[in-house]
Amino acid sequence: MERSPENLQEVFDRAFAGIDRTLSGFAPPMAPREVGAVTSVSTGIATVSGLPGAGSEELLRFPGGVSGIAFNVDEEEIGVVLLGEYGHLQAGDEVERTGRVMDVAVGDALLGRVIDPLGRPVDGLGPIACEERLPIERPAAPIMERAPVTVPLQTGLKVVDALIPIGRGQRELILGDRQTGKTAIALDTILNQKGQDVLCVYCAIGQRASAVAKAVAVLREKGALEYTVVVVSEGNDPPGLAYIAPYAATSIAEHFMEKGRDVLIVYDDLTQHARAYRELSLLLRRPPGREAFPGDIFYIHSRLLERATRLRPERGGGSLTALPIIETEAQNISAYIPTNLISITDGQIYLSPSLFELGLLPAVDVGKSVSRVGGKAQRAAYRDVAGDLKLAYAQFEELETFARFGARLDEATQTSIAHGKRIRACLKQAESSPVPVAAQIAVLAALTAGFFDPVPMEHMPDAEKAVQDASKSIPAEILSRFETAGKLDNADRKAILDMADRSLLPFRSGPAGPPQPETPAPLVTPAAAPLKAKAAA
């Protein structure tokens, strides 16, 4: 049926009346939006004007999804550290405030994944579903919420666990020249946490992509990636990402610590972190100080490492153990950054290039290494069997240096040198082969009792392996007592020594026989040669 013009007019009138009622009831939300403009862009930084309400450390949003952190908040402009590829940015681009600080996703979904400091996956395994986020900059736990460091963190390295023990909640610095095995020690420590109920975070700062890929491959091959989070900032990334990487990794670790878990975090390495921060500071025209580092370089590292602690049981009893790595130049541990980190941390493991060149791996210089927590974070069984080992080893190193002059040595000195050589042989260890607690205690007990002294030096690796294999037969009740705070009783000690003695018997009665005392040839100068010939006549 066709409608008349009058009917169509009524339909239109009703429709327009409904639209008018809808529009009159609609109130669009009006929210102020503070927008500024880029005035200049440099390497890794930008200066922004027109954001009078922006605060320090606030996250700013640039075109193309690039974020930045407000660093210098001046009266006229803001110096911003860029966190991403900034090649497309140019003067005049809009900049918007976010009203929040930089944060990172945290949670169990990160375990086994490789991410960048912004929380984005870089392992090609798809997105990560995390429900919680934490700011990368967080205040450290108050002193009243901290507990003493008394529980050991086993590294699986005999030289560290016996002589430089590390506790859960401690900060132990690893330093040495390049290519001396610093990363290897940290990775071995991560590998040894398998089955120890310790989660790990490995933070690579400014590393080569090949080095990071090798570390991830080792962790994956040994089954350690399943309890590890890898945070990666590569060398070709903007310096802003290298700067925030350790803080983001620490927030991820703190999430687990506050859930009552024990966490180990490795910063590899803070030398690159300090250099990235120096680059940003100089570009932002902050005044340089010693070695051109800014004046607050000590503060940025201290506020980072102060977050490593052990919490009281009321706070969950979790712990965060930090292993920062520092690279020295020409063995100069008194340079600016190494001395800063030595004063912040609770001890250091120093790796010597000369020991590395001699093949004494891990190349730990026992004389320059120290743990300021010490025996308080060491199992009583270790203190029983390795109490005098560090002193004996230090005496051996002095005597060995003295013997190089060709002086005549008495029998006691020769015995000390022979014993020290066997200590050094037992402390050698291959990479990626952590030694369990029972095997370490068996080897150290046999070493302290002098059972290795009659073994020829060329048979020492096989003899030590025999003791380690024999330690697998230690009864379960003795193994359980290794974990307690009590000392080894005489029966346990006798059982371990008898086991070690039986395993070493074939090496002591081998074809080479017991070693003879080594008497260095006396030093004969040309002037003394005629006198010796006359005396012989």
Catalytic residues: 372
3-state helix, strand, coil in the chain (%, to 5): 45, 20, 40
Which two tokens mark 63? Answer: 């075109």
Give whole-number Cα distances, 150 to 153, 191, 195, 373, in Å: 10, 22, 20, 8
Phi then psi for 12, rounded to 5 degrees?
-65, -40
The contacts of residue 3 (CB under 8 Å, 6+ apart) are 11
Q: Is 30 exposed, middle or buried (0-12, 13-18, 19+ CB in 10 A)?
A: exposed
Check: CB of residue 254 under 8 Å from CB of residue 213: no
Give whole-number Cα distances, 167 to 216, 233, 322, 379, in Å: 25, 28, 10, 10
C-alpha dihedral sign at 90, 91, 95, 100 = positive
Tokens 């051996």 sit on residue: 396
Nearest to 164 by CA among 273, 300, 40, 323: 323
The contacts of residue 431 (CB under 8 Å, 6+ apart) are 181, 184, 188, 361
The residues pairing with 250 across neighbouring beta strands, listed in sequence order, are none
User: What is the largest distance, in Å, between two alpha-carbon atoms of the chain?
Assistant: 149
Identify the three-state secondary structure at position 327. Answer: strand
Q: Kindly state the helix (H) or strand (E) to which residue 380 belongs, with its residue range.
A: helix 380-386
Write the Ramachandran bin of 381: left for phi over 0, alpha for psi from -120 to 50, otherwise beta: alpha
Which two tokens mark 337? Answer: 């950054």
